[in-house]
Amino acid sequence: MIKIVLRLISLLLFFGMINLSAFAQDKIERELRIKETEVPKEAKDWLNDAFETIKKPKWYQELFESGYSYEAKFKLKGKFYSVEFDSLGNIQDVEIEISVEELPNEVQTGLNKLLSADYKNSDIKRIQIQYSGEPDDLEDFFDENSLEGILTRYEIEFIGLDEAGDSKLWEGLFSDKGELIRKRKIVLTPSENLIF
């Protein structure tokens, strides 16, 4: 008897699982790897003008509820770059990964203030310096080091354990004076499949 029940459970699990793939999905926000040929010419041209020495960037399309954008990722002189363009290929911003030590003092102070006020415990996962501005200004910044028209901000990913005892991954955007401009939660995918 017990064997029959177990066998039934096994079959139910099997067919039940297949049906589960048809379940409703969360809000769609995806990043897809795409071929260079699918990228608007404007974006490729801007990248070539601003960074003449990069070899082959990896291109991604980011899909949001309201539309999509393009992103190029590459490594240059030991640093990780990600360059974002809108759906027409116009440059939006350039982000470069840096270490905590490279953060200006004012930003470090602002970050520490936020972390100690809102969280019992925290861990910084990733810091990016973000440059935005008009396409020509951004291009001049990268090939001539001209700061004119450039807005510098810092995007910081951290895990924070709040007073309620929940730990979440956050992305905070800070001004170059260390003020928090906005904060959004990053949805983490479960990892139980890897450790149980």
Partner 1 sequence: MSVGNSFSQDRQFFSGFFPEAAITKKLKNDQKIIFKIEHQDIFYNNSADESKEWQFTHYRTDLMSFFDVKLKPSKSIAFGVFHRIQEGANSNRVIQQFASVNRLRGMKLAHRLRTDQTFTKGESMEVRFRYRIATEIPLSGSTLDPGEHYLVLSNEPIFSFQGGEFEIENRLVFSLGKLINSSQKLEWSIDYRTDKFIQEGFRTRLWAKVGYFYSF
State how far the Cα of 81 lies from the Cα of 87, in Å rounded to an integer. Answer: 19
State how far the Cα of 185 lies from the Cα of 126, in Å rounded to an integer. Answer: 14
User: Taking the complex as a whole, how short is the minimal distance between the CB of residue 121 and partner 1, in angstroms?
Assistant: 8
Query: Cβ closer to partner 1: 60 or 141?
Result: 60
Query: Cβ closer to partner 1: 125 or 177?
Result: 125
User: Taking the complex as a whole, how short is the minimal distance between the CB of residue 65 and partner 1, in angstroms?
Assistant: 13
User: Taking the complex as a whole, how short is the minimal distance between the CB of residue 68 and partner 1, in angstroms?
Assistant: 13
State how far the Cα of 39 lies from the Cα of 119, in Å rounded to an integer. Answer: 41
Question: Cβ contacts of residue 95 below 8 Å, gap of 6+?
Answer: 81, 82, 83, 84, 128, 129, 130, 131, 155
Which structure tokens are listed for 42? 């404007």
State how far the Cα of 164 lies from the Cα of 166, in Å rounded to an integer. Answer: 6
Residue 38 DSSP one-character state: G
User: Taking the complex as a whole, how short is the minimal distance between the CB of residue 196 and partner 1, in angstroms?
Assistant: 5
Query: Cβ closer to partner 1: 144 or 192?
Result: 192
Interacting residues toward partner 1 by CB under 8 A = 2-3, 6-7, 9-10, 13-14, 16-18, 20-21, 23-33, 58, 60, 73, 80, 123, 125, 159, 161, 164-167, 187-196
Nearest to 58 by CA among 28, 38, 78: 38
Query: Cβ closer to partner 1: 10 or 105?
Result: 10
User: Taking the complex as a whole, how short is the minimal distance between the CB of residue 29 and partner 1, in angstroms?
Assistant: 7
3-state class (DSSP) for residue 143: helix
User: Taking the complex as a whole, how short is the minimal distance between the CB of residue 140 and partner 1, in angstroms?
Assistant: 29
Query: Cβ closer to partner 1: 137 or 157?
Result: 157
Query: Cβ closer to partner 1: 7 or 177?
Result: 7
* Beta strands 180-186; 68-76: pairing state: unpaired
